[in-house]
A and B are shown apart, each in its own frame.
Chain A
Amino acid sequence: MQQASQATVILGGGFAGLFTALHLSQRKYTHQVILIEQRDRFSFKPLLYELLSGELHSAQVYPRYKELLASSSVTFVQDTVKSIDLEQSRVTLTSSRIFNYRNLVLALGSKTTYFNTPGAAEYAMPFTSGEQAIALRKHLRHRLHQAIQTSDPARRRLLLTVAIIGAGPAGIELACTLADLLPIWYDELGGDAAEIRVVLINRSKEILKGDVNSHLRCTAQRALKGRIIPVDFLFDAAVSKIQADSVEYQQNNKTQILQVGTIAWTAGTTANPLLMNLPVANNRGRLLVTPTLQLPDFPEVFAAGDCAADSDQPQPPTAQVAYQQGIAIAQNIQHQREGKSPIPVEIKMRGTLMKLGLNEGVANLFNKVQIPGQPGHLIREATYLQLLPNAAHNRKITTEWLTDELFQRHRPASYMQLGQTPWLSGVATLAAGVIFATPLVWRAAQPMQFQQNLHWTGVPTLLNQLAPPPQ
């Protein structure tokens, strides 16, 4: 089927693809924009932990594309890309539909890789989409229910042990969230929260190795040990085999087995296999692009996010980068159509953000100032909510989140369960206390001046009735 050849086709509905589509629509782009994505919902990856824990719900961080694109001129096609022909400017889908394009945006993202570990694809649960977050939540709930019903201590220990493979940012954020969340869920079922065990398994000796967040290593390590149930570390351990209820690993040249009820996999991603077959230069599957995010030999084709690598200005594969690249591509496509030169993309990194447990995080502003704890959590949530696609959706969700934070609604666990204090309310109480105590201190220090200055308010008379001043 021949589609309009003037069309701009966007492959992949992650941050880069979706934001390209939305910004083209906002710019009153006159040509057809087609977004092709195999899933029907957009996964806001940085906030999937909140979806797992129940701090935010599906409509907030796992919305349908149709809803996000309802007020735009973008055509959404739910299908999987079968092949890309750059020479013929053509994309073929598994449903045999063919789209010819004038501009193509490659934003297919990355795929989970198991490094050929036997059993990993079958038994380990990845954590890269809303669907997987919901599946992991259901699995964990099921395991806790099974554990509360069993009288065999060994079986219960197995059911209550969670192994997280990979100590990159995703593994650490997931471990911190589960080490706070599972004890609370299990306690609510009537179980002994102390029986929960969360184990972080890592191939190397250090966490966050080679990551953009590597300088947050100490903060993350402290946070992992400071959860309701401290996270156990199993480092320098190479996972060699995974079975339904065990992880086999090599450590110090010895093969060891850890009995577990749940295995979460955050160990690695690889580029989309479709990209490897393209006749263009790539760096481990990431297409080499110009500073304007175009393919050097195909200037009508743009690539962004996990698909692209700019050898002059390498960028980390984060939502923050993909979001800015999406906006820049929309601008460059429009420039190209208007006969202007595309503009090199300047990514402004505002620092990094990590979730380090329920109601706890770290905001590393401009890579200079680290704000940990609840203030860090508030900055992280507020920053990510501002990145939500579609202005109407953004306003609605941000308002919901703000009112939820203020009135402490829909929380997966109360502050009391976490042994924490809502930071804003605590400081407000402290300020109110100081204001309340000020006239009392004034009266004690300068009784005469207090009487004279505040006589008109009646406060001195009231206090004198409670306790007469010294004569």
Chain B
Amino acid sequence: MRYLLNLRTAVSVNRIIMGLFFFVSGIANYLNFNVANGFYQTVITQKLQIIGPGIPPGWEGIGPLPSLIAIPYAWLLPLAEILVGALFALNYWVRWTGLLLILMTFSIILAFGIIPAGTLFPNGAESFNKNILFMTLIWICIAYDAYEQKMSRRRTEAMANYAVNNAMDDM
């Protein structure tokens, strides 16, 4: 129980899960690089959109990206996912690798839209990734609450010790 309510453990597990998710995603993107409707084809043809597939004509978004951007992006994104995911999971340069992961995730959100494909709104369809994120984030909150309570207890104990020590010093 002590380990479960430890802020550092919770943050570490959260970070490792996120890093691994991107690491595996990078591998999968290379494995499915050239297959029909695979990663490469998706990046080359995908439009940037806020509203996802299944939306009336005229709302599909802009694009696709020009080849000069799309081709290097397609080749480098999985590599970046592998490298940055591994560094993030292992706690290396977390601030910078985390920022890169957020930018990559944001680019995917732009590509696939947030309504209704992902989706941000509950619609009865299960989203495994989203649930994993919710679980780890809620765990952080619980562990942090436990941490705050512990610190508060420690301060109270320290103040009590101070009163005792002061009395002894006076003697």
CB distance from A137 to the nearest CB of B (A): 20
B165 at the interface (CB under 8 A from A): yes
Whole-angstrom CA separation of A416 from B9 in the bound complex: 12
Whole-angstrom CA separation of A265 from B57 in the bound complex: 75
| Contact A437:B91 (CB < 8 A) given known A443-B30, A444-B30, A469-B34 | no
Are the C-beta atoms of B159 and A149 separated by less than 8 Å? yes
A407 at the interface (CB under 8 A from B): no
Are the C-beta atoms of B31 and A430 separated by less than 8 Å? no
Across-interface contacts of A429 in B (CB, < 8 A): 86-87, 90, 92
Partner of B165, one of A149, A415, A426: A149
Are the C-beta atoms of A447 and B158 separated by less than 8 Å? no
A194 at the interface (CB under 8 A from B): no
Across-interface contacts of B86 in A (CB, < 8 A): 429, 432-433
**Chain B 33-76 near chain A by CB (<8 Å), digits 1 or 0:** 11110101000000000000000000000000000000000010
Across-interface contacts of A151 in B (CB, < 8 A): 159, 162
| Contact A467:B159 (CB < 8 A) given known A421-B91, A429-B87 | no
**Chain A 420-452 near chain B by CB (<8 Å), digits 1 or 0:** 011001100110111011001101100100000
Whole-angstrom CA separation of A358 from B162 in the bound complex: 31
- Which residue of A is nearest B32, CB measured? A467
B108 at the interface (CB under 8 A from A): no
- Which residue of A is nearest B34, CB measured? A470
B113 at the interface (CB under 8 A from A): no
- Which residue of B is nearest A438, CB measured? B79
A279 at the interface (CB under 8 A from B): no
CB distance from B77 to the nearest CB of A (A): 12
A406 at the interface (CB under 8 A from B): no
Whole-angstrom CA separation of A444 from B32 in the bound complex: 8
- Which residue of A is nearest B35, CB measured? A470
Across-interface contacts of A443 in B (CB, < 8 A): 30-31, 33
Whole-angstrom CA separation of A135 from B78 in the bound complex: 54
Are the C-beta atoms of A416 and B34 separated by less than 8 Å? no
| Contact A437:B30 (CB < 8 A) given known A415-B91, A426-B87 | yes
B161 at the interface (CB under 8 A from A): yes
CB distance from B157 to the nearest CB of A (A): 9
B28 at the interface (CB under 8 A from A): yes
Partner of A426, one of B8, B92, B154: B92
Tell me the residues in window 128-184 of chain A with beta carbons closer than 8 Å to chain B beta carbons. Answer: 146, 148-151
Are the C-beta atoms of A441 and B159 separated by less than 8 Å? no
Tell me the residues in window 136-159 of chain B with beta carbons closer than 8 Å to chain A beta carbons. Answer: 150-151, 154-155, 158-159
Are the C-beta atoms of B34 and A148 separated by less than 8 Å? no
Are the C-beta atoms of A149 and B161 separated by less than 8 Å? yes
- Which residue of A is nearest B154, CB measured? A190
Q: What's the dominant secondary structure at chain A's contact region?
A: helix
- Which residue of A is nearest B91, CB measured? A416
Among A151, A189, A440, A468, the most chain B Cβ lie within 10 Å of the Cβ of A440
Are the C-beta atoms of A433 and B83 separated by less than 8 Å? yes
- Chain B: interface residue count, which band? 35 or more
A419 at the interface (CB under 8 A from B): yes
B10 at the interface (CB under 8 A from A): no
CB distance from B38 to the nearest CB of A (A): 8
Whole-angstrom CA separation of A430 from B85 in the bound complex: 10
B95 at the interface (CB under 8 A from A): yes
A258 at the interface (CB under 8 A from B): no
Partner of B158, one of A148, A425, A432, A434: A148
Are the C-beta atoms of A434 and B151 separated by less than 8 Å? no
| Contact A467:B31 (CB < 8 A) given known A429-B87, A436-B82, A437-B79 | yes
Across-interface contacts of B79 in A (CB, < 8 A): 434, 437, 441
Are the C-beta atoms of B30 and A470 separated by less than 8 Å? no
CB distance from B24 to the nearest CB of A (A): 11
A463 at the interface (CB under 8 A from B): yes
B132 at the interface (CB under 8 A from A): no
- Which residue of B is nearest A422, CB measured? B92
Partner of A437, one of B34, B83, B150: B83
Are the C-beta atoms of A441 and B30 separated by less than 8 Å? yes
A466 at the interface (CB under 8 A from B): yes
Are the C-beta atoms of B32 and A430 separated by less than 8 Å? no
Among A421, A425, A468, A470, the most chain B Cβ lie within 10 Å of the Cβ of A421
Whole-angstrom CA separation of A426 from B35 in the bound complex: 34
- Which residue of B is nearest A420, CB measured? B93
- Which residue of B is nearest A464, CB measured? B31
Are the C-beta atoms of B92 and A433 separated by less than 8 Å? no
Whole-angstrom CA separation of A190 from B155 in the bound complex: 7
| Contact A421:B92 (CB < 8 A) given known A429-B87, A437-B26 | yes
Whole-angstrom CA separation of A117 from B43 in the bound complex: 71
- Which residue of A is nearest B157, CB measured? A190
Across-interface contacts of B82 in A (CB, < 8 A): 433, 436-437, 440
| Contact A190:B151 (CB < 8 A) given known A421-B93, A433-B83 | yes
Across-interface contacts of A422 in B (CB, < 8 A): 92
Tell me the residues in window 12-28 of chain B with beta carbons closer than 8 Å to chain A beta carbons. Answer: 26-28
Across-interface contacts of B93 in A (CB, < 8 A): 421, 426
CB distance from A101 to the nearest CB of B (A): 53
The 3 closest A-B pairs by CB, nearest first: A149-B162, A444-B33, A467-B31
Q: What are 11 A-B residue pairs whose CB atoms fall within 8 Å in the complex?
A: A146-B162, A149-B165, A190-B151, A421-B92, A429-B86, A429-B92, A434-B83, A437-B30, A443-B30, A444-B30, A470-B34
Other than A433-B86, A467-B35, give 10 A-B pairs with Cβ distance below 8 A: A190-B154, A415-B91, A416-B91, A419-B95, A425-B92, A430-B83, A434-B83, A437-B26, A440-B30, A470-B36
